[in-house]
Structure 1
Amino acid sequence: MAMTGPMAKGEIVYKIYRALTYGLSPLLHLHLHWRKLRGLEHPIRGRERLGRPSLRRPSSGPLLWFHAVSLGEGMAAIPVIKFCSQRRPDVHILMTTTTVSAFEVLKDRLPANVIYQFAPIDTPAAMDAFLGYWKPNWIVIMESELWPNLIIGASKCGIGLALLNARLSAKSFRHWSRPVLFPLMSLLLPKFSLIAPLSSVQAIHFQLLQAPPFSIKFSGDLKYVVDEYEQKDTRHIEYLQKQLSQKQVWMAASIHRGEEEIILGVHNVLVQTHPDIVTIIVPRHPQHGQEIAEELQKGGQNVALRSQHKELIPGTSIYLVDTLGELRQLYKLTPIAVIGGSFFPGLAGHNISEAAAAGCAVLTGHHVGHFSHMVREMQQYNSLSVIQKRAFKFWTSF
């Protein structure tokens, strides 16, 4: 029986999408090469992004594929991966992400039996090659990685699909609701056996985009689940804690370019009444650390870079953490944490629950994106304050 209505239109839109991604494949390959030159792709594992494996698939047994776009989504997946490994030791687990920063952190935090690969780009050749080689029995997608070639290809192969921590930003929801794209979403979402939205608002979004009601199971935000990871070497953190023990300190985490100017302004106010205060700045993208440090030094700040193992000598005002994988431990060293990615339009905030779990008083800007539900929940318990840029003046009473 032929499909009618939105799903039939969705088939047409998908055929156009598949043809476009096929035709644009050479340009997408060049784009990956350009990203590699900028340090945004792994220097020796780029073939994986084209669906070409660097590791062998286990010769027998079922395989469960977890896909997360970046570090935050990958961290949220770890407790689920561990749970699946405990319940089904016979199942092999494959984990993919798209960013180098996620790889650098997750490779040491995933269970030893997890196979790690970079995710293929959503072209027909790359995705078909990936699915054909790994032959997963189930695919668990984290948050909002709704790639048509992946979803349709998996469905045609009879692979089960689940979407965990499912969310669509207001912008994405408007995007997918457009007449030209709504039919495509109406085709994709019914392919999922399980959609677990991270909030009731997100559940409504997916229902309005034609997700079958039986597939939606509300489970809450997995980013609230803190995976207890024991660092292999904690000497550097312990030494830093000792250096900070006699100082007043606060931290600005996941700071995007431009936001460091706001943090510096706050620091300059605080230092008037607390001359020995240390401000810890953790850039969202550590590769910008040296550049940010040079700008701060030109402004008269004494900056210590963590990647260079600089000590906090008398007069050090800014401790700039340009490394990966230590944020959760750093939260334990400071009583107050400001979460970046939230002070300018176009940014979407970052996970605030890690700082709260470490016992920090948490502050965030107004632009929190899909973390708005988390902000509302934490405000109910007076454990978080949302502030505008101008409101930083109140810090003079710190």
Structure 2
Amino acid sequence: MTRVFYTLAFYLLVPLMVLRLLWRSRQQPAYRQRLAERFGYIAARTDITRPCIWIHSVSVGETIAARPLVEHLLNTYPTHQLWITTTTPTGSDTVKRLYGTRVLHSYFPYDLPGAVQRMLQRMQPQLVLIMETEIWPNLYDACQQRQIPLLLLNARLSTRSFQRYRRLETLTRNTLRGIRWIGARSLQDADYFQQLGATPAQIATCGNLKFALKIPTELRNIAHSLKQQWGNRPVLVAASTHIGEDEQVLAVFARLQQQIPNALLILVPRHPERFDKVYQQCVETGLTTLRRSAATALTADTAVLLGDSMGEMLLWFAVADIAFIGGSLVPHGGHNPLEAAAFGVPVISGIHTHNFTDLFPALYASGGAVEITDTAALYTQCLTWLQQPSLRQQAGENAAQFFAQQQGVLACIMQAITTLLPLTSPPPGDGT
């Protein structure tokens, strides 16, 4: 009965959700495109003889995090089709950029009975893999009715999300029972899922899939070449900044330049629709600013490189000497620090990291990251690391060691997948 009320409420909200898409499309026209897919109207698979695995990753962050798993699935199940859904246009663009025609793609349907049934009928997946915490009662029920195993991977619950789901205790408990397996990021996440109604037999604590990130050798070579072109300038990367953070970072960097005139700031706003506004903010500070999208070489007087391109965050971390992770000076909840850590780049973060409580405390404890409370502390920490390379290098080594010690999550997830979807023959390169 609780799912009935949930569904009625969802139907009432659909007009507002569509209006929100149209509103956002004023700055990103892609939001008003392919609306039918959000109601499950996707093109049916033409080669229905090939079994299908459905992977859902909400946006860019989840899609990038899922890449090691997707690549492994493509290699392990070469006769299967992989269908990836996202919620945002930037997520859609990331899927196309990473995989091209190797996977199928569409937008994720609204959690309405007709939409999810339509999607499942046209896709006909053998297995459904949901990245992180996307709990959709109607989709989960439809998969259970069709006997399609559904796995929740890289599953996490912030304290805020846990409390929100607890308010819908009956609905959440019934929904979780439809999940075949939950790969939790941490013991805390596993405990939260159990408190919400999942059984211990459903849950395994695998760790964070983002630790499975592999750094391409060619990317390191490109980064080395860029650093040389730029005169080996000290580089501060401010990654995934939000409204209210850009001006703070720019003010800090203007002070840093007084002490270290050849320093370079790479500023990467989280949302593409903010690129133009942030560029204007950069110009208004008086700092010489170059947009990455301009495809123009940096000059000696370029102070700020605005990262207004998509899919280059790894490159920016590869050239960084220090990384500030955004969404943390404002109460957003922070962003993933692991990509910086993987490159051995020391991390600075604000206090608002409640979405990554499984990562930041441990990274702080390792000495690979520092928490700051305000812009004065951000300035002091950046200046210390830039003026004392030995301290910066030690922090970077600590970050890299922290990353290296957290391997094994992909094997944990694949063990669960192959149990439900047995291999008919050894995967290529398996050697067995």
Q: TM-score, with normalisation over the residues of structure 2?
A: 0.83
Pairing 1:95-174 to 2, within 5 Å after superposition = 95-110=84-99, 112-174=101-163
User: In 2, Cα distance between the equivalents of 1:393 and 1:113?
Assistant: 45
CA drift at 1:396? 3.8
Shift in CA distance, 314/78, structure 1 to aligned 2, threshold 3 Å: closer
Shift in CA distance, 146/309, structure 1 to aligned 2, threshold 3 Å: same
CA drift at 1:34? 3.0
Which residue is 2:252 aligned to?
266
Q: Deviations over 1:126-175 (max 9, x none)?
A: 22211221121211101111111211122122111100011111111111
Aligned counterpart in structure 2 of residue 353 of structure 1, from 328, 338, 342: 338
- Unaligned runs of 5+ residues in structure 2 are 387-432
Aligned counterpart in structure 2 of residue 385 of structure 1, from 331, 348, 370: 370
Which residue is 1:63 aligned to?
52
CA drift at 1:326? 0.6
CA drift at 1:300? 1.2
Aligned counterpart in structure 1 of residue 264 of structure 2, from 267, 273, 278: 278
1:133 aligned partner, one-letter code: R
1:377 aligned partner, one-letter code: A
Determine if the alignment matches structure 1 residue 310 to structure 2 residue 327.
no
CA drift at 1:26? 3.9
Deviates more, 1:47-56 or 1:286-295: 47-56
Q: Partner of 1:191: helix, strand, or coil?
A: coil
User: In 2, Cα distance between the equivalents of 1:76 and 1:379?
Assistant: 22
2:208 aligned partner, one-letter code: D
Which residue is 2:74 aligned to?
85
2:368 aligned partner, one-letter code: S
- Unaligned runs of 5+ residues in structure 1 are 1-11
Aligned-residue RMSD, C-alpha: 2.2
Aligned counterpart in structure 2 of residue 183 of structure 1, from 156, 170, 188: 170
Contact kept, 8 Å, 2:21 with 2:31, in 1: the verdict is no
1:206 aligned partner, one-letter code: F
Contact kept, 8 Å, 2:348 with 2:371, in 1: the verdict is yes
User: In 2, Cα distance between the equivalents of 1:111 and 1:41?
Assistant: 18
User: In 2, Cα distance between the equivalents of 1:40 and 1:121?
Assistant: 20
2:348 aligned partner, one-letter code: L
User: In 2, Cα distance between the equivalents of 1:300 and 1:353?
Assistant: 32
Higher helix share: 2
Which residue is 1:6 aligned to?
none
CA drift at 1:298? 1.5
Contact kept, 8 Å, 2:57 with 2:130, in 1: the verdict is yes
User: In 1, Cα distance between the equivalents of 2:140 and 2:24?
Assistant: 25
Shift in CA distance, 361/24, structure 1 to aligned 2, threshold 3 Å: closer
User: In 2, Cα distance between the equivalents of 1:322 and 1:279?
Assistant: 13
Percent same amino acid at aligned positions? 32
Aligned counterpart in structure 1 of residue 243 of structure 2, from 253, 257, 262: 257
Contact kept, 8 Å, 1:109 with 1:229, in 2: the verdict is no
Determine if the alignment matches structure 1 residue 194 to structure 2 residue 181.
yes
Which residue is 1:226 aligned to?
213
Contact kept, 8 Å, 1:304 with 1:316, in 2: the verdict is yes
User: In 1, Cα distance between the equivalents of 2:88 and 2:217?
Assistant: 23
Which residue is 1:28 aligned to?
17
User: In 2, Cα distance between the equivalents of 1:367 and 1:79?
Assistant: 28
* Count of paired positions: 382
Shift in CA distance, 250/228, structure 1 to aligned 2, threshold 3 Å: closer
Aligned counterpart in structure 1 of residue 198 of structure 2, from 211, 216, 222: 211
User: In 2, Cα distance between the equivalents of 1:281 and 1:321?
Assistant: 6
Shift in CA distance, 208/40, structure 1 to aligned 2, threshold 3 Å: farther
